[in-house]
Amino acid sequence: MVRPVSLRSVVPVVYSLALAVAVLGPLVFSPGYLLLRDAVSTPRSFPTDSALGITDAAARAVPQDALLAVVTVVVDGGVAVTVLLMAALWAAGWGAARLVATLLPGRTSGLPAQLVAATVAVWNPYVAERLLQGHWSLLVGYAALPWVVCATVAVRGGQRGGWWALAAWLAAAGLTPTGAVLAAITALALLAAPGGTTWRWPRIAGGTALSVVASMPWLVATAVSGGGSDADPAGVAAFAARAEPLLGTLGSLAGLGGIWNADAVPGSRATPWALVGTVALLIVVACGLPALWRRREPVTVTLAVLAVVAVLAPALAATAVGLRAGEWSMLHVPGAGLLRDTQKWVALALPLYVLSAGAGIGGLRARFGGRDAVWATAAVLVVLVATPDLVWGVGGRVRPVQYPAGWRQVAGIVTADDGDVAVLPAGMFRRFEYSGRAAVLDPAPRMLRADVLQTGQLVVAGGAVAGEGRRAADVETLLLAGADPGELAARGVGWVLVEHGTPGELGESQRTLDGLERVHGDAELSLYRVPGASRQPADRDAAVAAHVLWALLLGGGAAGGLAVRLRGQARAAREQT
């Protein structure tokens, strides 16, 4: 006999899905591909060296790109990215509701509190800004945090399935390096907190081991290739948290906003409404703080410490002293480039925010009377109005695009056997008519089956931040100087792709192109073959093994957790008969 599913457990799931659809409607209901700033989805992706993170550029998109290379063999890449992004926002809301049900006692963890928590998790400036910046895979790591907390609570209490769940959610968060670090910090902080029925040091050791395995793709890629070991100090100031109108940097971060790119914010955050919305969100969150303070349980205290650090540390990093310290770390600390976008770390405040927002419903009832449902409805409306333009693709700005037919034709011609691909115009960002006004990452690296050489240079307000792609920079310099094609071939370049209709430097490259065979040409793209290219293939074994370990952690954790759950339900059914 299977226990019936309760309304209390189903409603947060459906409600969270509805919120996710409300945010991502343009992607869900229209065909096409997400192409917005850092987000690039393509019909197919391929397991290139770049996808495995073993080029001289930093391994920022592993195992994300390798996963898409596998998935898009059977599923269109536009559908795959939309499904993953939908799952992320859905999981964020559902996980917030589960966190409230797990940590709050009795009536205070009821359905109204869970729905408020789910709303705060999905509907806030952090989600809006990261969507507009194109950080869809970072939102997967963000969404995993409430589930990581629930899993660590299960581990601390010696519950069956706790370790399996923790393994799965750490791996899910590890879709990007930042997500892996966010989840590892959260898990290890909670496993190290006092209390619980299990021994502290064994659980810390277990959490550390799982975190390392979840991070293996980017750790191994960085060790093998050395990419990202020499980050440009100029990136510290360029990617520092930014003050929004009437808020200051600290206020912006406390309101889960303050991304470095002023163009990647919803319209309401560029007006005095940023102050109104932040105050509204913080009032909803603050309502539950007295109740959490009275309980002061180790898990809750740890989440509070993480939230304070998550807000204060990026604010301090944006000060003169913090900027100097960050510049020093870029020069002397290997891998410090991962830290330079400081606002992204405010995600660590999410578990406390959703827990406190949920606890606030019971606090308001106890102080002012009334029904939980009434207070919850008011809180939900306040949170929605605080970021009003998050709805429907952040005011329609997150929407699918269609690639011109030439991209598919070029993708069918280029093969990895004939060498790598150099691109023109110079740079790695594009402005196509079909992609809208925002600059977008060049889709070529994910569209083609050969490695596309990219310098990694980022053009930001106030200047440029140098990238790590030294070989790509060398090839780009040769192209702009109009070098002999033989010099490109000697550096392993077998193709030159010219992308028309986008601004960028071309230099004297036409001299080089005149000496090459054009194998494709249309209004959008021209592809040239470079004869005689030869390139020593990279050793992929370690990187592939690291990705396999990550996949086993994700799949094994999910399967193990499901098996434990099914056995528990079967045992409960036998006891009732």
pLDDT in tens, 224-249: 887 655 678 888 999 999 999 999 99
Tell me, what's the pLDDT at 549? 98
CB-side neighbour CA atoms (13 Å) of 206? 18
Within 8 A by CB and 6+ apart from 279, the residues are none
pLDDT above 60: residue 2: no
Q: How buried is 170 (Cβ within 10 angstroms: 0-12 exposed, 13-18 middle, 19+ buried)?
A: buried
Q: Do both 475 and 356 map to the same domain?
A: no
Q: Do both 348 and 428 map to the same domain?
A: no
Number of independent structural domains in the chain: 2
Tell me, what's the pLDDT at 5? 62
Q: Give the whole-number percent of the chain exceeding pLDDT 70.
A: 97
Q: Do both 364 and 474 map to the same domain?
A: no
Tell me, what's the pLDDT at 1? 39
Q: Do both 380 and 418 map to the same domain?
A: no
Q: Do both 223 and 287 map to the same domain?
A: yes
Q: Do both 263 and 131 map to the same domain?
A: yes
CA 239 to chain centre: 16
Q: Do both 491 and 370 map to the same domain?
A: no
Q: Give the whole-number percent of the chain exceeding pLDDT 90.
A: 85
Res. 57 pLDDT band, cuts 50 70 90: confident
Tell me, what's the pLDDT at 437? 86
Res. 4 pLDDT band, cuts 50 70 90: low
Q: Do both 313 and 347 map to the same domain?
A: yes
Q: Do both 350 and 484 map to the same domain?
A: no
Considering the domain boundaries, does residue 534 fall inside one?
no
- Phi/psi at 35 (nearest 5 deg)? -140, 90
Considering the domain boundaries, does residue 542 fall inside one?
no
pLDDT above 90: residue 467: no
Q: Which domain holds residue 263?
A: 7-399+548-564
Q: Do both 98 and 19 map to the same domain?
A: yes
User: Mean pLDDT over all residues of the chain?
Assistant: 94
Is it true that the peptide bond before 63 is cis, omega within 30 degrees of 0? yes
Considering the domain boundaries, does residue 538 fall inside one?
no
Q: Do both 154 and 166 map to the same domain?
A: yes
Q: What pTM was computed for the model?
A: 0.96
The answer to which of 142-151, 272-281, 306-315, 330-339 has the lowest mean pLDDT is 330-339
Q: What is the pLDDT of residues 366-417, one digit of tens each?
A: 999 999 999 999 999 999 999 999 999 999 999 999 999 999 999 999 998 8
Tell me, what's the pLDDT at 457? 78
Within 8 A by CB and 6+ apart from 340, the residues are 231, 235, 236, 239, 326, 330
Q: What is the pLDDT of residues 5-44, one digit of tens each?
A: 677 789 999 999 999 999 999 999 999 999 999 999 999 9
Residue 546's closest CA among 140, 205, 214? 214
Region 316-324: what's the mean pLDDT? 96
**Helical pair 136-156 and 77-103, crossing angle rounded to 10 deg:** 30
